[in-house]
Structure 1
Amino acid sequence: MSEVSPARRIAYGILKAIENGKGHSDDLLRGKSVTALSESDRHLTTALVLGVLRWQIALDQRLRPLLKHPNAKVDAEVLIALRLGAFQLLHMDRIPRHAAIDESVEITKHAGHKFASGMVNAVLRKLAVSRTSQREESDADDWQQALPAWMVERWIAHYGGEATREICRHSQRQPDLTLRVTASDAEAELIANGISLSPGQLLDVARDVTSGDVMGMAALREGRVRFQDEGSQLVAELAPRGSKILDCCAAPGGKTLILAERNPDAKIVACESSPQRIAHLRERLAAVGDRVECRLTDAATLEDTSVYDVVLVDVPCSGTGTLGRNPEIRHRLVPEDLPRQAERQRAILSAALRAVRPGGHIVYSTCSLEVEENEQVVYAVLAQRPGARVISLETRIEELRIEGILTPTGSTALLQCISPRGALHLLPGVLQTDGFFVTLIKKMA
């Protein structure tokens, strides 16, 4: 058997792990096997994994009719090899046809399915012949085929056809690689090392990486810059100032770090229910010292009462606002998951309302586009709490503009995303961020 290139071999292994429920792309693409690759192989591995996951539904639709028996069960390992080859043929113009086909055949053999290698070869050659001169299933033309129909139908009903088209297009593109620059010397250091940066869309401290490899940079290792989507950064920036702050669902800690940066004299409690995740959280927050207490606890069971000035409730959710960054969500999520998520979200928000003092504020946020996890959670909980109400985020956005945290164009764009009830809806494709829902709540009594 011939050797398989490192990038394709590792991409195959990651896709197999995801298929078997043994990891998520975001974590696996940061693993040792990937970081040990050359820069070019690392980029190819990432492109293959995320590309196959984004287009998997459409790829399967193209591959099935080319099988001798289209309805026959295909071993998962063989199917992954077919998807890898098909993605390269249909969506990667710079990959030679023979490389896409031949290495998929070799992957099949290395996976222990030598008997199926002839079928993989035949199917991919048929696909290559049928390929038109233009890229198949482009973002603009066939976006519906890349996402579950039930998701698309829900978004059309809630956001309308044009917004849904932009959400789907955004879900099929590689997201911007965005940095939060927290030290004055860090940007110049990156530029001096060949990293090209452009200003973020919303925040003064955000920079998009337009070229270069940041992974080996000292500024990243030392925490003077860190990767974080602008929408994710914004959620923490929207939290009002306070001297006692609670972060209910803190891992992986990016928002907690922003709370610490903006409230240098505050005492912060960061909660996390997973022992593994809190270990990583403690390691990441070590730089801010004892100002942050990492507490291993389920936020839904918090017993603190009227303690905190500010509570951030960035709840676990379906993640449908992050499909571009976490494309495998579309393959795991089913509509029945949403009510279960919402039940837990209501419990966490209720605990947060108990924990905040009268006059204090809660920021409730999700990276979900689904109304069950957003407005319906907030108003179901507030219906049981007459002493709390939603405050429009317009005032907070204006405050951040005056402070220079939001850029003038960013604040203008965000004001266009405020709902009639005062919540912020960041829709992927409308702004170049992940999708977020954010509401500011004030506890009156």
Structure 2
Amino acid sequence: MTPAGRLQAAIELLEAIESDRRPADAVANEFLRTRRFIGGGDRRDISETVWGVLRARRRLGWWIERVDAAPTPRLMVLALMVLGGITVHRAAAEFGGSRFAPPALDDEERRALEKLDKHTLDHPNMSDGIRLEMPDFVVPLLRARFGDRLEAESDALMQPAPLDMRVNLLKTTREEAIGLLAKAKLKAEPTKLSPWGVRLAARQSVTTAAPFRDGLVEIQDEGSQLVALLADAKPGMRVADYCAGAGGKTLALAMTMENKGHIVACDVSSPRLDGAIKRLRRAGVHNAERHLLEPGDKWTKRQAGKFDVVLVDAPCTGTGTWRRNPDARLRLTETDLAELTVKQAKILDEAQRLVKPGGALIYATCSMLAAENEDQITAFLHRQPGFRVMPVGETFPGYLRGAYLRLSPARDGTDGFFACRMERAAATTA
């Protein structure tokens, strides 16, 4: 594809994202899958433009409103180019100059670009929410968490996320996996925090490489790997992954259990659980089964008190994953947060029933908001006084130890994560 052709594809993809209620990555995957003529390099360029717009969406909208224009996907792309330092003449030359190029600029677009010329993306008159690219109501919540570090964390959230993978110790070692990835022309280095992780030097296609196809590595952010490390599931245990989704953490738990014992991957979504089947087979996991949690289901009641470890990776706002999902910050509302905190509390109260005396309950989110994290734990312990918090142990670097595991992009280089390990009091005998 020509550069102009890639621009037109990016504009069409942005239009599709705007008109679709699904997450941007799902829309993009379908968009690119149905256009097989778009090659791998073209896909990367198109995605870079689209995600660049999504990461700067509030600031771009502020500028476009300032110059009295409509925030169309075309003008968003053009504004990103001009505010990024490309001249108006050069930007206009990409439009209407070839067969597959976007149509030529109209008078309104040209006037808008001329007003944007010589400016940069940031402006001192922007509000904190616009400048930091997050919903206005989230700013004070994250300010309370990070204080003076908020600007650095916000900047990290606006950068592309690295590609982390977890090495499957059921099949190989980290050193061997790095060597096999190198043979597949994928340069990887050990992660700093996870003992099982590797990080690729840049975003690369790994799903067609032999180490991935053979189940030696699995795509998983380093922070997510640390949640599995905190669970400390051992061989022979009974473990419930209560919000398993497509099984990412189930795979990690099976690995730490050395395929010995029993894991039940639970979820309310049948399609998500079905998505775990191929991943479990590829990884060589055979100690896991799936269970669909349905309304009126008596499974939790029947299994009460039978599990050594229960992991609740709760549905959340996903504020810690905004590097990967920049469109999510555009959709998040205060109502969403309020509804999610109610759901999280309900899930915790249900899942705790499964924990046997002396067993562990791990609560985790990919959120950095106290309402979904520390506040949830405080409220849960008030409702369930039979549990106590177990501080993060010596497996983790000293600065991460304490009552809770807290991770953030700027400080730790991971997605934003929260996790807490709690223990149910052991049964007493008369």
Q: Does 1:124 align with 2:94?
A: no
Match of 1:227 in 2: 219
Considering only aligned residues, what root-mean-square deviation do their CA atoms show, in Å? 3.1
Q: Deviations over 1:218-250 (max 9, x none)?
A: 222333222211001111111122411100111
Alpha-carbon distance between aligned partners in 2 of 1:362 and 1:252, rounded to the nearest angstrom = 20
- What is the CA-CA distance between 1:416 and the residue it aligns to? 1.4
Alpha-carbon distance between aligned partners in 2 of 1:300 and 1:55, rounded to the nearest angstrom = 44
Q: Is the 8 A contact 2:165 2:220 kept in 1?
A: yes
Among candidates 164, 189, 192, match of residue 180 of structure 2:
189
- What is the CA-CA distance between 1:13 and the residue it aligns to? 3.5
Q: Is the 8 A contact 1:25 1:50 kept in 2?
A: no
Q: Does 1:18 align with 2:17?
A: yes
- What is the CA-CA distance between 1:104 and the residue it aligns to? 5.9
Q: Deviations over 1:334-385 (max 9, x none)?
A: 1222121011101111111101111100110001111111112122122121
Match of 1:404 in 2: none
Q: Deviations over 1:123-142 (max 9, x none)?
A: 23432x233xxx5439xx98
Q: Does 1:137 align with 2:137?
A: no
SS of equivalent to 1:88: helix
Q: How does 1:253-402 map to 2 (within 5 A)?
A: 253-263=247-257, 264-287=259-282, 288=284, 290-297=286-293, 302-303=300-301, 304-393=303-392, 395=393, 398=394, 400=395
Match of 1:236 in 2: 228
- What is the CA-CA distance between 1:154 and the residue it aligns to? 1.8
Alpha-carbon distance between aligned partners in 2 of 1:321 and 1:373, rounded to the nearest angstrom = 12
Q: Is the 8 A contact 2:264 2:289 kept in 1?
A: yes
Q: Is the 8 A contact 2:265 2:288 kept in 1?
A: yes
Match of 2:198 in 1: 207
SS of equivalent to 1:342: helix
Change (3 A) 1:272 1:123: same
Change (3 A) 1:381 1:439: same
Q: Is the 8 A contact 2:317 2:340 kept in 1?
A: yes
Q: Is the 8 A contact 2:96 2:104 kept in 1?
A: no
Q: Does 1:443 align with 2:424?
A: yes
Change (3 A) 1:333 1:391: same
SS of equivalent to 2:54: helix
Among candidates 236, 245, 248, match of residue 251 of structure 1:
245
Alpha-carbon distance between aligned partners in 2 of 1:378 and 1:300, rounded to the nearest angstrom = 26
Change (3 A) 1:222 1:238: same
- What is the CA-CA distance between 1:96 and the residue it aligns to? 7.5
Alpha-carbon distance between aligned partners in 1 of 2:405 and 2:60, rounded to the nearest angstrom = 35
| Unaligned residue ranges in structure 2 (runs of 5+) | none
Match of 2:55 in 1: 54
Among candidates 156, 159, 177, match of residue 173 of structure 1:
159
Letter in 1 for 2:163: L
Change (3 A) 1:19 1:105: farther
Match of 1:158 in 2: 145
SS of equivalent to 2:415: coil
SS of equivalent to 1:130: coil
Alpha-carbon distance between aligned partners in 2 of 1:248 and 1:60, rounded to the nearest angstrom = 40
Aligned residues: 406
Alpha-carbon distance between aligned partners in 1 of 2:121 and 2:287, rounded to the nearest angstrom = 53
Q: Deviations over 1:267-324 (max 9, x none)?
A: 1110121222222122322344542111121599633310111011000000011111
TM-score, L = length of structure 1: 0.82
| Unaligned residue ranges in structure 1 (runs of 5+) | 401-410
Percentage of pairs with the same residue = 30
Q: Is the 8 A contact 1:144 1:152 kept in 2?
A: no
Change (3 A) 1:81 1:298: farther
SS of equivalent to 1:363: strand
- What is the CA-CA distance between 1:423 and the residue it aligns to? 0.8
Letter in 2 for 1:38: G
Q: Is the 8 A contact 2:60 2:80 kept in 1?
A: yes
Change (3 A) 1:211 1:55: closer
Q: Is the 8 A contact 1:180 1:226 kept in 2?
A: yes
Alpha-carbon distance between aligned partners in 2 of 1:64 and 1:441, rounded to the nearest angstrom = 49
Alpha-carbon distance between aligned partners in 1 of 2:203 and 2:265, rounded to the nearest angstrom = 34
Greater mean alpha carbon deviation, residues 201-210 or residues 351-360: 201-210
Q: Deviations over 1:101-134 (max 9, x none)?
A: 4556799x999xx89844223323432x233xxx
Alpha-carbon distance between aligned partners in 2 of 1:87 and 1:234, rounded to the nearest angstrom = 36
Q: Is the 8 A contact 2:178 2:187 kept in 1?
A: no
Change (3 A) 1:119 1:106: farther
Alpha-carbon distance between aligned partners in 1 of 2:27 and 2:291, rounded to the nearest angstrom = 26
Letter in 1 for 2:222: E
Alpha-carbon distance between aligned partners in 2 of 1:149 and 1:32, rounded to the nearest angstrom = 31
Change (3 A) 1:300 1:292: farther
Alpha-carbon distance between aligned partners in 2 of 1:337 and 1:212, rounded to the nearest angstrom = 31
- What is the CA-CA distance between 1:191 and the residue it aligns to? 1.3
Q: Deviations over 1:164-220 (max 9, x none)?
A: 112101111111121223234432122123322222121232222114733332222
Letter in 1 for 2:143: I
Alpha-carbon distance between aligned partners in 2 of 1:179 and 1:170, rounded to the nearest angstrom = 20
Letter in 2 for 1:227: I
Alpha-carbon distance between aligned partners in 2 of 1:98 and 1:285, rounded to the nearest angstrom = 53
Change (3 A) 1:361 1:250: same
